[in-house]
Amino acid sequence: MQRYQDGLTILTKTPWIELGKVNNIAVSCDAIYDADRYSAEWDSNPNSFGPFIVIGGIDFLAAPVGSGVGVTCLGNAPIPASDAAYVQVSRSDWDIVLDLAQCFAAFKMGGEEWKAALQLEQRAIQACAAENTRLKSQGCFSDILVQRGSAQDRRMERYATANQAGKK
């Protein structure tokens, strides 16, 4: 259950949209909540609102009709087509890949072997977190890019937990 919850957390924090363009000009990507608040009636005239792109979650966006719209999205990781397919991994990351492979193999065995391999998984997760921290510290405005795709979820009351909703 913990792995499932971790996966959901990672999914909701994934910056799925990186850049939005309308007629080849970079524009802001706003949440529906922001568009309603700062550009009232934007959805009443789909031909002339903007220039911005409205994002409502991972699977919803709106843009002016009749204009050239381009969005740079975070793509899915490639899956090797066969066992002989080449996967590029740097030498510094090879130990992490082997740790995860051993942990996944132990999961299939189950029992004590899997419990013993959980520390390999934990070590791999810590190494990945350290690498993510290093990459975030090098990126200019990376905090803004990470938050862009999830702005709607943060601003809507329906996504608040029961405790937060009860306090309002």
In a domain, 114, yes or no: yes
This prediction has a pTM of 0.51
- Count of the separate structural domains present in the chain: 1
First to last CA, the chain: 30
In a domain, 168, yes or no: no
DSSP of 60-95: EEE--TTS-EEEEEPPPPP--SSTT------GGGHH
In a domain, 165, yes or no: no
Q: Which domain holds residue 112?
A: 2-75+83-160
Whole-angstrom distance, CA of residue 37 vs CA of residue 30: 11
Structure tokens at 47: 């031909």
Task: Check pLDDT > 60 for residue 10.
Answer: yes
Model confidence pLDDT, tens digit, residues 14-56:
767 778 888 888 888 888 888 888 877 887 877 667 788 888 7
Model confidence pLDDT, tens digit, residues 106-161:
988 888 888 888 899 899 989 988 887 887 777 666 666 566 656 666 666 654 55
DSSP three-state, residue 17: strand
The one-character DSSP state at 20 is: E
Say if CB 12 and CB 153 are below 8 A apart.
yes
